[in-house]
Amino acid sequence: MLDNWIKRHLFECKDIGPEPELNKNPFWPEPDKETRARRIKELIIEHKNQQTE
C-alpha cells in the first residue's frame, strides 16, 4: 500500500524545472543522495502518521 502511495506521489510530482525552495518532493532529481533518502523517510513517516489519524 505504501509503495502505491509513493508511486502515486511520484507520478503527480514530475520534474517541471528547478526545485522550489520549500518543495519537499523526495523524487525531485538532486545530486545529494543523503538528502533524497532523508526526504523519502520523512514521506514514509508522514504517510504512517496520516494512517493513524
Query: 10: which residues sit within 8 A by CB, 6+ positions away?
Result: 27
Angle at the Cα of 23 from the Cα atoms of 52 and 27, rounded to 5 degrees: 75
Distance CA(47)–CA(29), nearest Å, equals: 21
For the chain, what are the domain ranges? Answer: 2-51
Phi, then psi, of 17 in degrees rounded to 5: 135, -160
Q: What does the pLDDT look like over 27-37, one tens digit per residue?
A: 656 556 777 78
Q: Model confidence over 4-25: pLDDT tens digits?
A: 766 666 555 555 555 555 556 6
pLDDT at position 37: 81
Question: What is the end-to-end Cα distance of the chain in Å, rounded?
Answer: 17
Question: How far apart (Å, rounded) are the C-alpha atoms in residues 24 and 39?
Answer: 7
